[in-house]
Amino acid sequence: MKFYLLGYPVGHSVSPPMHNAAFKELGMPHDYSSLGVEPSRLAYTIKAKIKVDEFGGASVTIPHKIEMLRLVDELDGSAERAGAVNTLQWKDGVLTGYNTDATGGVKALIESYGDISQAKTILLGAGGAANALAAQLAPRVKELTILNRTVEKARALAERIGTNSGSIIYDQALIESADIIVNATPVGMHPNVGASPIDKRHLHEGQMVFDIVYNPLKTQIMLDVEEAGGRSLGGLWMLVYQGVEAFEIWTGVRPSAQTMYDAAKKALLERH
């Protein structure tokens, strides 16, 4: 069967090597490839390439995650809660949209940090990934504050899930009281590798930064918190765990996360 990464542009994504490594290890005769689809052709592509016998499932990425909400036949609760679709399953003539981004991210965070129930947590950003993560994090941490460049968006998200909000520009000092800082903005992503969303003087020992950016593997804010004596986690395990969950939805089999991580990391390092 065929599996795709649907996005635009899709470039040299690490998702094909990551999923193909798991198919190979499990002896499954499937193929996962990138499919760049312009937004204006998304509905046509679903008819022509997705709702066909040989299609098994897809990952959905920028800019299609929100539009996909109205193009699927059914929405799983995970996609409803996240307000976006990142995984498609085609089964028995029904196209279902799921979201595995946030559960993957929270799993990666808990594996690295441990018990997060007493952690004062700051989430930077109020875009697609932040929306999905906020809904998963809010009930699990002690306190969640959403800081965003456009403060109205932080406020709207905070109101939706019942947490606190503020401005990433004016409220950086709040960071000092946080146990966990989650960066869900693209600041620091390749090629702007020297950039950080937070002034490093607000970071200190005992804190953990979870940056969901995975290219580079270690972003500036991660380097800064480590220099201050804290810990960091990059976004690659989140990518892997959302992929593990998607793979299980598609095949009913749980693949090796380590195999997928190794393949994704190798592909990422080969890019540069």
Ligand X SMILES: NC(=O)c1ccc[n+]([C@@H]2O[C@H](COP(=O)([O-])OP(=O)(O)OC[C@H]3O[C@@H](n4cnc5c(N)ncnc54)[C@H](OP(=O)(O)O)[C@@H]3O)[C@@H](O)[C@H]2O)c1
For ligand X, give the closer residue by CB, 216 or 235: 235
DSSP track, 95-132: EEEE--HHHHHHHHHHHHH---TT-EEEEE--SHHHHH
For ligand X, give the closer residue by CB, 185 or 232: 185
For ligand X, give the closer residue by CB, 87 or 207: 87
For ligand X, give the closer residue by CB, 26 or 62: 62
Report the SS3 class of residue 175: helix
The arrangement of strands across the sheet holding 120-124 comes to 164-167, 143-148, 120-124, 180-183, 208-211, 231-233
Q: Give CA–CA dist 137/21, Å, rounded.
A: 30
For residue 140, CA distances in Å to 121, 144, 235 come to: 10, 9, 19
Q: Shortest approach of ligand X to residue 52 CB, angstroms?
A: 27
Q: Does 185 help bind ligand X (rule: CB under 6 A)?
A: yes
Site string for ligand X, 88-127 (x = CB under 6 A): -------------x-----------------------xxx
Strands of 37-177, DSSP E: 55-60, 74-75, 87-91, 94-98, 120-124, 143-148, 164-167
Closest-CB residue for ligand X? 127
Q: Does 218 help bind ligand X (rule: CB under 6 A)?
A: no
Bridge partners, residue 143, by sequence: 120
Which of the stretches 10-18, 41-49, 89-97, 148-156 binds ligand X when contact is defined by CB under 6 A?
148-156
Q: Shortest approach of ligand X to residue 151 CB, angstroms?
A: 8
Which of the stretches 7-15, 20-28, 32-40, 232-240 binds ligand X when contact is defined by CB under 6 A?
232-240
Q: Shortest approach of ligand X to residue 27 CB, angstroms?
A: 27
Q: State yes or no: is 65 an active-site residue.
A: yes
Nearest 5°: phi and psi at 157? Answer: -65, -45
For ligand X, give the closer residue by CB, 91 or 201: 201
According to DSSP, the β-strands at 87-91 and 94-98 are: antiparallel
Residues near ligand X (CB under 6 A), total: 26
Q: Which of 24, 49, 51, 65 is catalytic?
A: 65
Which of the stretches 12-20, 48-56, 72-80, 144-152 binds ligand X when contact is defined by CB under 6 A?
144-152
Q: Does 147 help bind ligand X (rule: CB under 6 A)?
A: no
Q: Shortest approach of ligand X to residue 22 CB, angstroms?
A: 16
Q: Which residues participate in catalysis according to the annotation?
A: 65
